[in-house]
Amino acid sequence: MPRQPGGARPRRAAAPAEAVGQGALDDVAALVIFARVIQQRSFTRAARDLDTSTSAVSKRIARLEARLGAALLTRTTRHVSPTEVGLVLYEHALRILREVEDAELLVADLTAAPRGLLRVSAPVYFGELHIAPLLAALAQRQPELRIELSLSDRFVDLSAEGFDLAVRIGPLSGASLSVHKLVRDPLVACAAPAYLERRGTPQHPRDLLEHDCLRFTLSSNRGRWRFRDEQGESLFVPVLGPFDSDHSGALREAACAGLGVVYLPQFYLAEDLQRGQLVRVLEKFSRDPIAIQAVYPSNKRLPPKTRACLDFLGQELPQRMARGAGATRTNAARGSPARSG
């Protein structure tokens, strides 16, 4: 008679209730319980999560250890921790948990009602300006959805840190992530009127060789800026200046203080351009708009909560940013050009 995976003999069709617990399906349930015990570091808390008794959890783990012939957990009066063998088994059990979750989502058909915790990462300034208000609006529309927004300019590891999606600005690394395009934003070169009065207005990107430039240190092109020449080809200009930073908000403040020319996505500078604290330069040479995208783990099935967020951001973010860009253009049309050098 053929054996089931794991070495268990197949049960007869009319197996009594006492026989349940000896087959492969029961092994899967035991692994799920085992993983929950490690995550909670407690039999009691795991039992509470699984809506069962502590004794039932303990018996299931003991049966699994007996079946495998190895101790999986170290028990103390304060908490439970995995043994070396248990840690290896736990890594495999996590895959089963993901499969169970996918199956539950498929059966429950949650597409019309996103629910649960949605963890989102976004750059600090862009997140404050656009993502936070939009996620607040999404939470109002989806009362069963809980949202946690983390603002950081670093590229988080979505899988390792438990994020459902992240908003990224500019070129993406070669990570195996799915990409959802949200909007494109023009790069803007600008400076304070006082700086342009003092140093003159650059008429061509090459003129920046004679100007102070404020550089973003996290950019791969920190030491040179890319523009388009008269034929539309890429033109790289080496730049130097008195102030560098890994935070675009700091560069914006430095530009407003008259320290030099800054070259950033428009959303960083829109308010200062509207107020006339900054003035655009080299507009006809600006490179193609920079992409703003959402990335998420490349799973076989996208959870409804993530899909709802992607759809909402994809619909609302372009409109929100277009309103800001329109106000900037209107204000620029009313202003007066800075003196040329």
Residue pLDDT, tens place only, 246-286 = 888 899 999 999 999 999 999 989 899 999 999 999 999 98
Enclosing H/E stretch for 281: strand 279-281
Is the model's pLDDT at 324 over the cut of 60? Answer: yes
Residue type, 135: L
Query: Residue 325 has which token pair?
Result: 């860009």
pLDDT digits (tens, 9 = 90+) for 60-105: 999 988 888 889 998 887 788 889 998 988 888 887 777 776 666 6
**Range scoring the smallest mean pLDDT among 169-183, 206-220, 273-287, 316-330:** 316-330
pLDDT of residue 337: 39
Task: Print the SS3 string covering the chain.
Answer: CCCCCCCCCCCCCCCCHHHCCCCHHHHHHHHHHHHHHHHHCCHHHHHHHHCCCHHHHHHHHHHHHHHHCCCCEEECCCCEEECHHHHHHHHHHHHHHHHHHHHHHHHHCCCCCCCEEEEEEECHHHHHHHHHHHHHHHHHHCCCEEEEEEECCCCCCHHHHCCCEEEEECCCCCCCEEEEEEEEECEEEEECHHHHHHHCCCCCHHHHHHCCEEEECCCCCCCEEEEECCCCCEEEEECCCCCEECCHHHHHHHHHCCCCEEEEEHHHHHHHHHHCCCEEECHHHCCCCEEEEEEEECCCCCCHHHHHHHHHHHHHHHHHHHHHHHHHHHHHHHCCCCCCC
Task: Tell me what the mean pLDDT of segment 29-58 comes to.
Answer: 89
Confidence at residue 3, expressed as pLDDT on a 0 to 100 scale: 43
pLDDT band at residue 213 under the 50/70/90 scheme: very high
The pLDDT assigned to 113 comes to 76
Helix residue spans in 142-240 (DSSP H): 158-161, 193-199
- The more confident residue out of 232 and 54 is 54
Mean of pLDDT over the chain: 83
Calculate the CA 282 to chain-centre distance.
Answer: 33
Instruction: Return the higher-pLDDT residue of 332 and 214.
Output: 214
pLDDT band for position 312 (50/70/90)?
very high
Residue 21, CB half-sphere, CA atoms under 13 Å: how many? 14
Beta bridge partners of 236: 226
> 296-311, pLDDT tens digit by residue?
988 667 888 999 999 9
Rounded to whole angstroms, the Cα distance separating 297 from 277 reads 41
C-alpha radius of gyration, the chain, whole number? 28
- pLDDT (average), residues 46-50: 89
Q: What is the mean pLDDT of residues 130-144?
A: 95
Q: In what order do the strands lie in the sheet with 187-191?
A: 244-245, 213-216, 261-265, 187-191, 279-281
Query: Over 80: is that where the pLDDT of 147 sits?
Result: yes
Place of tokens 């009594």: 16
Whether pLDDT at 10 is above 80: no
153 vs 182, which has greater pLDDT? 182
| DSSP designation for 29 | H
The per-residue pLDDT for 157 is 87
End-to-end CA distance of the chain: 92
What share of the chain in percent tops pLDDT 90? Answer: 44
User: Using CA atoms, how far apart are residues 146 and 115, in angstroms rounded to an integer?
Assistant: 7
Distances (CA, A) of 283 to 9, 49, 214, 263, 340: 75, 58, 17, 11, 14
The single residue listed with the structure tokens 């039992």 is 47
Structure tokens of 152?
């950081």
Distances (CA, A) of 306 to 150, 162, 182, 224: 16, 13, 14, 37
Coil, strand or helix: which one is 263?
strand
